[in-house]
Every structure is written in C-alpha cells, then in structure tokens.
Structure 1
C-alpha cells in the first residue's frame, strides 16, 4: 500500500509564469518549480536571455525539458507596457500562479538629481507593471484561492537608505499594491516577498565591482544574526510557500537574515 501524498506534491502538475525568471531570484524560483513538478514559463525583456535560460533549465533537468518554455516581454516601455503584458499572458495561456521578480537597474540618485521623467522610468518595471499585471492576470489564472500572484519588493521598503528615495517610494508602495490587489482580486491570492541583501547579479548590473560587492556583503554579515548574505536559492523557498498555502493573501514575507533586528 502506497503512502499518502498530502504535502510534498502540492505544486506537481501546476503551471507557473515567472516574470523576471532569467536571472537572480526569478531563475532560482524557476529551478525550484521545475524540481517540484511544475510546468514553468520564464520571461524577461531580452529574447536571447529567455532562450538561454530555457536551454539552461532544460539541460539541468533533462527529464523535465518539455515542461520548460519562455517568452520575452519588455516591461520598460511606457507606451507598450500594457500591450506587452497582455501579449505575454496570451502566449502563456491559463496558469495557476504568476511570479513577478522583474527588475531593472536600481535608480539610486541624490534627491537634487531627480526629475519627473526619472521618477516615472524608475517605477516602470518594478511598480507600474505590477498594477497592469493585476488588471489583466485574473482572465489568465485558473482562479480561486489555489491561484495567486506573487510580487517582489526589497528591504529598502522596510529600512530606508540615503539617496534611494525614489526606489524607496516604489518599494514601499508595493506593500500597498499587494494588499489592495488581494482585496480587488479575491479569492485569487496576492502576496509580496521582501528580500534583504541577496548575492545576485543585481549588484554588478548596478555598476558595483566584485570587490565592492564582497565588502558590502562582509559588512552586512558582520551584523546579521544568520551571519550570511544568502543566495537566490534561499529566497526561492518563500515563493514556493506562498503558492502552497491557500490561506495566505495580502501578506509580506520578509527574508532578511535578521538584519533588521540590529
């Protein structure tokens, strides 16, 4: 007689779209989903990176190659943003969950240097796209409390950093977007992950050298109760949990190594 399978295969057979799945946290989420028996569609703005990511996942999981695909979607184009999101959802078709980890270069800048155009562009990928995703996603989700949208903010939303006022505004605003969408889209669930410092390509993309990143991580680790800046594979667990728990919505999961305690 076979054992019951009540907890370990909750995601098996599901279909998940990972927007921003070509690198960093999004890529680790995609890996974790494949390992959990999920059909995964990865998306990012660069078509070649999408192709490379699909190939990388298929090579790592050859027995699951047929369950991995991808589509490019540019979230940085203001004029075409809504149309691009709808096109992506049309290509994806019905799915059970949508994960949004997409981001561009962090727009840290002194207050004296900001203007309206910089403010708008800084929020295009990380903020405005989430609202338009919330507008259109319900049509493409299987629905009910077993479906969800998971958004991503950052630790700056909980602990501000000098010269990050624009990023801080959008990051904090995503807490409100999460709660508002959880009400507007019910019973579809909407949640938010707030990572602290994570060792990903983000820092190099922001112009930080490997040596500078190493020094920053060491400074964090000297204070963090866990003593370690995590890799994206640690953060992936938060997204899996939010998909599995059909009772959680409008909630923020803050994974920061206890950094905010000190």
Structure 2
C-alpha cells in the first residue's frame, strides 16, 4: 500500500486551469496520478490547454495526461455563475468520475490602480472574480458534496486562492487587499460551514505569470519588472509556478488540514 501517494486515482477539478498557477496544479496533479478536469473560460481555451499539456508529457510518460479533461466554465456573467459551476461539476463527474477536490485559481488581470482612480464600476468588476465567485464556489461545492450519494466517500476538499497583499499592505493596493483579506476570512468560515469537506487557501506572493501582463508591453519587460519588485526580498526573485504549486498539493494531500491559509511568498513579509 502506498501511504504517501494520496492523490493517485483521485479526481481534481481545477477552475482556472488553462494557464499560470492553475495550469501548474493540473500538471502536478497529473504527475501524482490523479484524474484532472481543467476548466477554462471557453471550450477553445480548455481544449488548447489539454492539447498542450498532453504534448508536453507525451515523450516522458505516455500515461500522464490520459485522464485529463478540459471543460468550459464561463464565470463572467453574474446571473449565470452559479449554474455554470453546477454544470461544471456535474459534467466533470459524468465524464471523468467522482469529484474529490476542487481548486479555484481563476482571476482576471490585476488592473486596479491608485485609490483615487477607482470607480464603483471598476471596483465591482474586480470584485466579481475575487469576491462573488469564491462565495458561489463554496455554495455549489457544499451542495454538490452533501448529496446523499457523496456522503461517506472519503476525503473531499476545496482550495481557494488569495494573495500576499492580504497580510502585507502595499501602497496602491487597497481594493485588492480588501478582496484578498476577505478570502482568508471566507476560507476559515467555509471550513465550518462545509465540514467535513475541508476548505483551505493558498496565499502566493509575486509569481511570474500572465496575471501581471496588463502592466507590461512584453514578456521580457514583465520578467524584468517582477525581478525589480522582488529584488529586496530574501529569495530575491519572483516565485515560479512549479514552486508555488507545491502549497496547493500539500493542502490536497493533508486530510488533517482545514481552515488554513498556506503562504508561499519568498520572504516578502520579512522586509
């Protein structure tokens, strides 16, 4: 019996799994022997990600990616978000087997600027993916995992995503800090509301992903900008996706962890 390969054969649904940290979680889960459903904002983006991942792993291990499914889950419209999440979980289970874990990493770009530039419209737009959708994910997960056929079927969990701004303030980030801090509080309370389903969160620091792209003209400019932002931190560079993903994998594996926020910030909190 394998005591520590706890994700082998489990089904992990990654909402926002087409790129960035979400895609890293998909890849790490596949390498752990899990069945994975990645959800993108469109079927085209999901199919493209699945094709790319399968091609990447083809020469190293032909079985990796065998149980990878891509589905569309458009969360952009407020009045259809809940039904889109319901459809996602039902379709994932029907096509890829019983769902064990749900990971939420979806987010739009970090586009809010100085506080004086914030308008009700821009704040509410940013709040959709960072405030409303995580609440609805918790609501749908509770309903999905509490159905009679799911009871007593082993460890189930939800992992949300927050950010280092929740615990280390920075000028110009008040609104995003408000949302991120709310995710930490939401995580703790959902752990009570959804029990015995486990609920946790990961708080990344500055990670080199496309989330930062609106502020830069090219990939090279983005990488240089992030290096400058992190130069004074103990690690001295932005986090890599494959590093930060380890925090999510820990929370998926540890059936004793709930109501926790795991931080992976490169020492950002120390300076």
Partner of 1:129: 133
Contact 1:217–1:229 (8 Å) recurs in 2:
yes
Distance 1:20 1:47 in 2: 12
1:171 deviates by: 0.9
Partner of 2:99: 95
Contact 1:57–1:68 (8 Å) recurs in 2:
no
* Aligned: 1:197 with 2:206: yes
Deviation >6 Å, runs of 4+: none
Partner of 1:18: 14
1:205 deviates by: 4.0
Question: After superposition, what is the alpha-carbon deviation per residue over 1:211-243, rounded to whole angstroms, capped at 9, x for unaligned?
Answer: 542333333443221233221111111111001
Provide closer, same or farther for how the CA distance between residues 205 and 91 of structure 1 changes in structure 2, counting only shifts above 3 A: farther
TM-score, with length taken from structure 1: 0.92
1:208 deviates by: 5.1
Provide closer, same or farther for how the CA distance between residues 197 and 68 of structure 1 changes in structure 2, counting only shifts above 3 A: same
Contact 2:230–2:236 (8 Å) recurs in 1:
yes
RMSD after superposition: 1.8
Distance 2:87 2:120 in 1: 28
Distance 1:34 1:27 in 2: 11
Contact 1:20–1:43 (8 Å) recurs in 2:
yes
Partner of 1:5: 2
Q: Structure 1 unaligned segments of length 5 or more: list them.
A: none
State the secondary structure of the residue aligned to 1:182: helix
Alignment of 1:41-52 (within 5 A): 41-52=37-48
Distance 1:64 1:214 in 2: 30
TM-score, with length taken from structure 2: 0.89
1:207 deviates by: 4.4
* Aligned: 1:111 with 2:115: yes
1:115 deviates by: 2.8
Partner of 2:161: 152
